Amino acid sequence: MRICVFGAGAIGGNFATRLATAGNDVSVVARGAHLEVIRRHGLTLLVGDRKIVVPVRASDRPADLGPQDVVLVTLKACGQTALAAAIGPLLGAETSVVFVQNGIPWWYGHGLSSARPPAPDLSRLDPDGALARSVGLERTIGAVVTSSNHVVEPGVVRNISPDRNTLWVGEIDDRESGRIAALRATLKAAGIASPETRDIRYDIWHKLMANLTGSTLCLLLAQPTTIQKTPMINRLARRAHGEALATAAAHGVLLDDNPDVRYGPKRVYPDHRPSILQDYELGRPMEIEAIVRAPLAFARGAGVDTPTLDTIESLCVSLAVSKGLYTL
Do 277 and 218 contact (CB within 8 A), yes or no?
Answer: yes
Residue 193 per-residue DSSP state: B
Residue 127 half-sphere exposure, CB side, CA atoms within 13 Å?
A: 9
Active-site residue (options: 207, 229, 266, 323): 207
| Interatomic CA distance for residues 121 and 300, integer angstroms | 11
265: which DSSP letter? T
Q: What separation, in Å, do the N-terminal and C-terminal C-alpha atoms of the chain show?
A: 41
User: Could you tell me if 71 and 90 are in contact, meaning their C-beta atoms sit under 8 angstroms apart?
Assistant: yes
Query: For residues 69 and 174, what is the distance between their CA atoms, to the nearest angstrom?
Result: 20
User: Could you tell me which residues come within 8 angstroms of residue 250 by beta carbon, excluding any fewer than 6 positions away?
Assistant: 117, 298, 299, 302, 303, 304
Residue 184 has a CB neighbour count (10 Å cut-off) of 20
DSSP 8-class letter at 87: -
How distant is the alpha carbon of residue 115 from its chain centre? 26
**CB 12 within 8 Å of CB 34:** no
Question: Quick check: is 207 catalytic?
Answer: yes
d(CA 42, CA 249): 45
Active site residues: 207
